[in-house]
Amino acid sequence: MSRYIKKFKSTTALGPTEERGFALWVGYEIEGVDGSLSGFVNVDEWSEEKLRDLGVTTFTRVEIGDVAMRAKLGIR
Task: Give residue 70's pLDDT.
Answer: 95
Q: According to the model, what pLDDT value does residue 57 have? A: 95
Higher pLDDT: 58 or 76? It is 58
The domain spans of the chain are 2-73
pLDDT tens per residue, range 25-54: 999 999 999 888 999 999 999 999 999 999
- From residue 3, alpha-carbon distances to 11, 21, 34, 59 in Å are 26, 25, 9, 8
Answer yes or no: is pLDDT of 16 > 70: no
Q: Measure the CA–CA gap between 7 and 54, rounded to whole angstroms.
A: 10
pTM of the predicted model as reported, rounded to 2 decimal places: 0.81
